[in-house]
Structures are given as structure tokens and as C-alpha cells.
Structure 1
């Protein structure tokens, strides 16, 4: 019997659950067995404000997915998103004396843990979700390729720590458990989405994935096939709806429909509506551009920006991104799916979690996805590369 993988994406407006199983051929797309979605209650900006309501929403989405797939699951991968996510940069340094001057997996682990210790003052009330090595150095010389097997006296590593507010993390984990499922792993939402919306070629050249959610705008930047930055801004497509409602003094439900062009025969001129939508989208991409500038990557991502999320469907989103960022721009699509699949980019996070779980199993117990990012060049990462579109 094929193993079934489950991914749960708990958003501010919707909870989405995907159940998927691998094909007989590992190179073939996973089969989507069932999907379930529910209105997300008890959430605000990606964190829980009412645990009971959130539990009900998770349970509802799970039940729908299980009914569609005709299977029962006990465990699932969970995405962590919202304004509680942030990045911290750190450096770890260890001597190679214990290993006789040889770089081994153990020494790499020591260096990574040392980088986490050095960031302790910035980790008050925060939990580390991912520790991603950005660059290794042996005796001050940058390592090109695998650090394992090199000789020297000192190993250094620059890391990107993806963290989340500890209280938010604990409350989401508790809500999933109370909904009747055991969380068997967590991943930052932008990272999960990138697994099925970005290609290896894009990540290697340099690319940014921007997700315009209801109440948050999240981005993850890749260079040389490695995540180099993750940021979440407390703005989203609901801010555009609010601006429309205030500008034309209309109910929020009508403003939401007008934003998406679902209202005809209105007294409000389409050009005025487009002006408001464009202005708010411009504000969002100005924020992103400022962050890219702080990273030293402004106008320096050859693969450009890929836009996902509910806000990606707004007219002119891609064009505005291109104009502000001065980068190639496109609307994201979920890759590596059967041609008959109806799953679109709004399911990218949940489906990406399933792909993560499957990739770990393909590694034959050699490690986890955490290891894949902690050990940037090990065999587990090779398993991931075989899965990416």
C-alpha cells in the first residue's frame, strides 16, 4: 500500500490540506488523492487569536481532504507563516582538532550549533525552524563545493536562521494536535511554496518568490540554489479591499468583489478602481525593493520575481512588480503535477509540504530536510534536486 503524505497550510483566511501519494516512478508527479479547505477562524496576520476556532478550521479541512481521498491520516507536515516569521544571520566557528584537522559531518554540526549559540541574544522568545548554511570557510578560505573531507585547523560557517515567535509556534502546534493530527515536521511557508513553484535553474540563477496573502506579504530569495533571505511584511490584499471600501464608501464584501472585477454595472469607473489597486500593489513592491537593496541584490536576480498567493490574481500585479523592481516578473504556477490536476498556486504551500515528506523518505533515512539545509551539499539534498520541477 502506498504511503500517503499530508500537508497543512494554516492561513489567515483559509486552512488548506493536501493528501498526496507518490507514483510508482519516483520521477513522475505525485498523485493528489484529496484536498480540503475551510474558512480560517481564530487567525490574525498568521498567528492564533482563538485556539478553539482554529482547531475547528483545521479539523474541517482535514475531514474534507480525508473524505475525498478515502483515507485516514494520523500525521502531517505543517507550514509556519505569518508576521511571526523572521530571519537572523549568524556565524559559527570551531577548531578541527577533535577530528585530526579533517572536516566531517560532525564538525559541520558543531559549527552550525555554534552559530545558533552566538545568536542566542536575538532568540529571546523565538524558536529556530531552519538553520541554513550560506558559506563555509576553512582557515578563512571560502569553500567551493563540499566542505567534507577538506583539511585545516578552523571551520567557519555563515548561516541564515529562520525563526518564529515561540508562542505563535507552540499555539499552532497545539491546535494541530487538538485537531487530531500529530505534527511530524514544520517548515516556513515561503520555503514550502518554493519547493513546487520554483525550478532549480531559477534558484541557481537568483530568484525571489513573493506571496501576496490576505494579511501578509512574504518573500523568499534564492541565489546559487540556496535560500539567502526570508521576510514577511504585515500588509496584504485585504488592505487593498479596505482602501476600496473607504474610498468609495461601500461594504467590504462589495469592495472585495470589485477588487477582483466580479461586479458589473457599477457606478464606480473601472479606471478609478484600477488606480487604487495599482497604488497599493506599488506600495507592496516598494517595500520588497527596499529589502532587496538592503541585501545588495536590487535588480540583481536574473530569474526575477515569481508572484503567488491570492493577490497574484489581481490585474497588473506582474506588470507593477516588473516596473518597480526592474526585474523579470511572472505569476507563479505549481510545477510537477499531473496534467489533470486542478491544484493551482494557492495550494503550493500544502503540496510543497507533501513533496518535502516524500523527499525525506527517498533519502532512505540518511537525514531530514533540516539536514538538507544544515548540510547544504549532502546526499539528502541530491534527493531534493531529483524532485524539483
Structure 2
């Protein structure tokens, strides 16, 4: 009887406020399950990039060790998210003439259009492309629904989304993780990773915006036709709301953070607190509205706005988003589909969890053990035919 194939995937999300690690185990024929999680307070980051490597190293080390202890396994490989203010998207176009005499579109033609679209990009100094998404193909001027490979035509065009970040910021994050003995298998933009689990396929298909309100940054990722079509990060976050409360009510930051989430508890004026919070939230939502106008999607996303991150826990945010953006608004809740009780409790874990799932979806490279098994089976099959 063949032993069941077991795969383990790990996601590491190094946020400005917290570092989170999620380890998922999947055995063929069984439900995937989270076997380990780790969390630590992040030190040494500002707006998503590292400013103190020693402090960042200690924070990531603590979260990884916690996850390893819970999972009872050593983490050797992981997927890493990248966010921060240097993360952005840009759209470019590329064309190619069919390489076959028959005019049939080949995989090589697809690569040519993608290469030209990348070559047509400008302002890429000090930046690295970390994600590529074909948004639309045209063949001889007519839009192609789906994959154009195998169709007949002479001129193929592509509209492609590229997600980039500052190379130095990315290298610093990767170096911290790899110095801990963990090989980074892939880099995934934080909003794309979160979209794996915060949104269902219908939401991503009809059109929606995933808005993550982090400690020092706010990101927006717009999805249509089950793919991201735009991404932007703003240097503002829920920490700004905490600072406003501390200044407005003249109280310590720790106390301001508590009442931001749980309310004034009768000690302070609820009206004044709401005014302080709503003023800053309106600033954030106006930035989101401005971005939606820029890409011609304001008021035109049927699945609306889905809010995630620590800032999404503020009581008034859902109603305020509906009023300002004039779109349906809801808070994302993790849908883990795990066997047993899941340790994932709120939307702040979505990026790390999405990364781990993303890793399971990638095709697994054949291991040495699998190759040996295949060779032994082949020998057994061939043996009766040998002299």
C-alpha cells in the first residue's frame, strides 16, 4: 500500500506591527490543517520596510520558533509576503506577430508579448517585479476570452499588470528570513496573498476592492475577473488614529489603543471619540476613493469593499466606508476550511494564511525519494522482459 503524500507549507508575514507565521499540513485525500502558528511584536520596521536589521531579526526569529514548537517541525522553506509603501502596480502593453506559418498562437507568442510589455515599462530603477498578471489579450484587434493559445491570427496583444517594490526593501526582508536558516521559495505581494482567503471567487470575479488597514500603511487591491487589476499602498494607518485619540483626549498611547477598539467605556465622551476616529478614517477612505476614480472603478464594484487588518476592528468603519465610498462594505472573516479547531481568529492572519495556501497550490518539485520510488517501479516492470 502506497504511503500518503504529505506536504507542508509555511507563510511568513512581516508586518510593521506584528510578524505572523502559519504552517499548513496537507495529506493527499485529507483536509488540510493548520499545525503551527507564531506571532511576535515587530521591531525595526517603519511603513513596511526594515530600519533596524538586528531588531527585525529577533522579531522574525521569535515568531518562527513559536510556530516550529507548535507544529513540532523545523521550518526550512517558506513563502514571504512583501507590503510597505514601495509596493505598487503598473499596467503595460506588448505585442507579437504569430511565430507559426499557420498563424496559430503558441506559448512562445505569449512569452514574447509579456517580454515586450515588461520592456515597455519605465521608471524601474531600484525596483523589482514580483508579480505579473495578464489582464487581457487581443488577437487581430478582437478581445480574446480566456487563453489565446491554439487560436488563429497574426497579431497578438496583451495588457499586463506588473506589481513592483523597491529592491533594497525586498532584499532586506529576504536576508533576515534566510539568515534564520529558512529558504524563501517565493515572494508574494501581501494584498494578493490576503485575497486568496479574504475573498471568494464570486467577489474576485464580479469586482471588489480588498482594503487592508495596517498599523502604518493602508493597501488597496482591486480584483476583477478573478485577478488583481490594480494595487496601491498609502503611508497612513491605524497608528495615526491611535495618535489622534491620544492627542485629542490627552491620554497615554496604550490607553488610546484600547479605547480605539473597545470604545470609551463611559470614561470619555463617545461623541468626541467618534469624531476623532471618523476624521482620520475619512482621510483614509478618501485616498481609496481617489484611487478608484483613477482606475475608473469608483461606485462600480458590485461586491464592494472588503476590509481587513487591525484597523478593520474599529466599530464604525463599516458604516463609514459605505457612506464615503457609496459601495457595499463588509469585514473580512477568515474562512479556513480546516479539519478541527482553527487557531486563525481574525483578519490580521489572512496574509500569512494566504501565503501558506499559495504554497500548497504550487506544483511540488519531485523529491529524491519520489524519483527513487519511480526508478524501482520501472525496474520491476522491465525485469520480466530482460534475458
Instruction: Please give the secondary structure, in 2, of the residue aligned with 1:356.
Output: helix
Of the three residues 17, 35, 56, the one matched with 1:13 is 17
Q: Residues 146-225 of structure 1: matches in 2 within 5 Å?
A: 146-225=147-226
User: What is the match of residue 349 of structure 1?
Assistant: 351
Q: How many angstroms apart in 1 are the aligned matches of 2:349 and 2:281? A: 22
Partner of 1:127: 128
Give, in angstroms, the shift of residue 265 of structure 1: 5.0
- Superposed displacement of residue 100, structure 1: 4.6
TM-score normalised to structure 2 length: 0.90
* Distance change (3 Å), C-alpha of 1:282 and 1:364: farther
CA distance in 2, matches of 1:141, 1:200: 26
The correspondence for 2:71, drawn from 69, 72, 95, is 69
- Residues in 1 aligned to 2:300 and 2:64: alpha-carbon distance in whole angstroms: 41
By how many angstroms is 1:286 displaced? 1.1
The C-alpha deviation readout for 1:300-355, integer Å capped at 9, x for no partner, is 11111110100111011111111111111110011243362130211110110111
Q: Aligned partners of 1:226 and 1:2: how far apart in 2? A: 29
Per-residue CA deviation, residues 74-119 of structure 1 (Å, 9 max, x unaligned), is: 1100000010100111011111135652211221111111111110
Larger radius of gyration: 2
Partner of 1:80: 82
Distance 1:363 1:295, change over 3 A: farther
> What is residue 32 of structure 1 aligned with on the other side?
34
Say whether the 8 Å CA contact 2:44–2:54 is kept in structure 1. yes
Alpha-carbon separation, structure 1, partners of 2:111 and 2:101: 13
Alignment match, 2:138: 137
What is the CA RMSD across the aligned residues, in angstroms?
Answer: 1.7
Residue in structure 1 matching 2:60, options 38, 58, 61: 58
In structure 2, C-alpha distance between the alignment counterparts of 1:363 and 1:141, rounded to whole Å? 38
Assess if the C-alpha contact under 8 Å between 1:194 and 1:209 holds in 2.
Answer: yes
Query: SS of the counterpart of 1:16?
Result: strand
Q: 2:117 aligns to what?
A: 115
Give 1:384's aligned residue. Answer: none
Matched, 1:47 2:38: no
Q: Is the 8 A contact 1:96 1:153 kept in 2?
A: yes
Q: What SS does the aligned partner of 1:97 have? A: coil
Structure 1 distance, partners of 2:214, 2:145, is 37
Corresponding residue for residue 312 of structure 1? 312
Give structure 2 stretches of 5+ with no counterpart.
Answer: 368-387
Q: TM-score, normalised by structure 1?
A: 0.89
Distance 1:97 1:190, change over 3 A: same
For the residues of structure 2 that align with 1:289 and 1:364, how far apart are their CA atoms? 47
Change (3 A) 1:69 1:189: same
The C-alpha deviation readout for 1:352-380, integer Å capped at 9, x for no partner, is 01111111137999xxxxxxxxxxxxxxx
Distance 1:169 1:253 in 2: 31
Distance 1:83 1:8 in 2: 18
Matches of 2:259 and 2:198 in 1, distance apart? 28
Q: Which residue of 2 aligns with 1:248?
A: 249
Q: Cα deviations across residues 214-244 of structure 1 (Å, max 9, x unaligned)?
A: 0000011111112110111111000001111
Contact 1:59-1:180 within 8 A present in 2 as well: no
Q: Which runs of 5+ in 1 are unaligned?
A: 366-389
Q: 1:202 to 1:363 in 2, by over 3 A?
A: farther
Give the CA deviation at 1:23. 4.6
Q: Are 1:360 and 2:362 an aligned pair?
A: yes
- Asked if the contact 2:105–2:150 (Cα under 8 Å) also holds between the matched residues in 1, the reply is yes
> Relative to structure 2, which stretch is displaced further, 247-256 or 35-44?
247-256
Retained in 1: the 8 A contact 2:99–2:106? no
How many residue pairs match? The answer is: 361
Q: Distance in 2 between matches of 1:320 and 1:99?
A: 58
SS at match of 2:359: helix
